[in-house]
Structures are given as C-alpha cells and as structure tokens.
Amino acid sequence: MKTRILIVEDEYIAAHTLRMSLELGFGYQVVPPVATGEEAIACVEKDPRIDAILMDIRLSGQMDGIAAARQITDRHPIPIVFMTGYSYNETMRDYQSPVPYAYLEKPVGPEKVNQAIQSVLGCD
C-alpha cells in the first residue's frame, strides 16, 4: 500500500508541482491538496488514512498551519512536515507535538521533502 500524503499549501502551482513530484518521483499517493487549515482538518476527519501531512505555516483562511496541525494531532496521530519561508525561531519555538514533525524552509526541493517525510514516518 502506498504512503498517503496530504499537502496543505495555499499557492496552487506550488501545491500541484509538489504533488506531481511526490507521486511520480517517489511513488506516494497524494490526496488532492487543500489551501486552508480548516480544509485540512475537514480532509483528515473525512479520510483518516492519511499517513503524513505537508503543512505550509502561512495559509489562506482564518487558521494558520500551526493551529491546524495542533487540532489535527489532538485527534489523529499523523506526522507533520512544516514548510515555510520563515525561520524556525520565528514560527516554531513554542510548538509542541505528541507526534513526529519536521521543519523545512522554502524553497525546498522534492528530495528534501521526501527525506523529511521518511524521517517523520520513522523510515530513515
């Protein structure tokens, strides 16, 4: 069974480029990307078979990626890979999670994303 990934990214082209890279380059099954934290929560509630989430921190909508990740991991033990253009200290210093997570600064290539996914899934 293929590893199922959810991409939460409000930049359409970036989300779909990443999706294609992960599907074609690494064989992941990527569910259709969503652009808001609210959509991410709804997606996980509807499809709890997601193995990992790639989460941008700055999103469209009322909720940022960190708030969405907290709500998701409170109910589902899904590892999260955060992606952002901001530094770790600016955004992640207070983030605590009961599940594995990784942090990548944009721009980031598919190889680094794959390594982060493997890391949070315990496959490295």
- The reported pLDDT for the residue numbered 124 is 62
- For residue 112, CA distances in Å to 29, 61, 79, 105 come to 18, 27, 16, 10
Q: Cα(first)–Cα(last) distance of the chain, in Å?
A: 18
Q: For residue 44, give the amino acid letter.
A: V
Q: Which CATH architecture has domain 4-120?
A: 3-Layer(aba) Sandwich (3.40)
In terms of Cα–Cα distance, which of 121, 41, 76 is closest to 113? 121
Query: Where residue 100 falls among pLDDT bands split at 50, 70, 90?
Result: confident
How many C-beta neighbours within 10 Å does residue 33 have?
Answer: 22
Q: Is 92 a residue whose pLDDT tops 70? A: no
- The model's pLDDT over 57-80, given as tens digits with 9 standing for 90+, comes to 989 889 999 999 999 999 999 999
What residue spans define the domains of the chain? Answer: 4-120
- The continuous run of DSSP H or E covering 92 comes out as helix 88-92
Q: Is 87 a residue whose pLDDT tops 70? A: no
Write out the two tokens for 70: 């907290």
Q: For 57, list phi and psi in degrees, rounded to 5.
A: -85, -40
| 79 in Cβ contact with 120 (< 8 Å) | yes
- The model's pLDDT over 29-53, given as tens digits with 9 standing for 90+, comes to 999 999 999 999 999 999 989 999 9
